[in-house]
Amino acid sequence: MHKIALEHPSLTSFTLYADGAKISEGRCCGSIEIDLPRGEIEVWLNPMDKNWGIVPRIRIDGFLVNTYLAGIDVFDHMFKFIFADDFFWRYANMNVASILSSVPAQYRDDEGYISKYFGLSGANTDLVRDIRLILDEKSDFHNNT
């Protein structure tokens, strides 16, 4: 089972819903870690002194998440997001999209620049195949001489 952890000094209690059904609720003192089922997740928060608007640190399976990349909508009293099997891939894809949007305008079409400074490169399948062919040719030559 996946886990979600919440952390904020004002956090006093929470309620977690998945696809509209209440899954868990309880009191806590600043932090809590609970099971995270798949589905449309809503986590309602009760802060100390009704001081709404807190944004707790959110960790999923131990990873502190960026709420934007995780697709988490944050409201004054709750946050919600979709947690599915592809959550981690979606997070990675959102990160790539975010990186690409941050590339300076003059380099948007510069594959070399994007590769060097943002680590986004294609599979280079043709180049890999070419290198393998060269290695095979060298190997054949070596074996035949």
Partner 1 sequence: MKNLIFITIPELDVAIPPPAVAALRPIVTGSGWDMKHVDLNLELQSQLDSHEWQQLLSYCELAKDTLDDHLWNKIAAISIKHVRSHIDEYTAILAFSIFSIYSIRIAGRILPLMRDHFPDLSFLCGGNALSSSIDGSKQIFGEKILHEGWAHNVIYGEGEVALKHFLQGDLLHPGINVANNQQIEDLDSLPFADYRGMDLDRYSGKRLLLTGSRGCVRDCTFCDIATVWPKFRYRSAALLVEEMRKNFYETGIDRFEFTDSLINGSTKNFRKFNELLYDAKQKDPALSGITYSGQFICKQSTNMVPEIYELMHLAGCKQITVGIESFSEHIRFHMRKKFTNADIDYHLEQCAKWALPNVFLMIIGYPIETSEDHAYTLDCLRKYQRFGQMDVISYLRWGLTMHIYEDTPLSKMMDDLGIDAGIHNVRDGLYAWNSILNPGLTLQERIKRRLEVHELSYELGYKMPMVNAELMSLKALAEGLS
User: What are the residues binding partner 1 (CB under 8 A)?
Assistant: 59, 61-66, 69, 88-89, 91-92, 95-96, 104, 107, 110-113, 115-124, 127-128, 130-132, 134-135, 138-139
Q: How far apart are CA 138 and CA 101, in angstroms?
A: 43
Token look-up 């981690």 returns 88
Q: Using CB atoms within 10 A of its CB, is residue 18 exposed (0-12), middle (13-18) or buried (19+)?
A: middle
Give the nearer residue to partner 1 in terms of CB position, either 76 or 121: 121
Give the nearer residue to partner 1 in terms of CB position, either 52 or 117: 117
Q: How far apart are CA 46 and CA 3, in angstroms?
A: 20
Give the nearer residue to partner 1 in terms of CB position, either 20 or 143: 143
Question: Shortest distance, CB of residue 61 to partner 1, whole angstroms?
Answer: 8
Question: Shortest distance, CB of residue 33 to partner 1, whole angstroms?
Answer: 12
Q: Residue 126 phi/psi, 5° resolution?
A: -65, -40
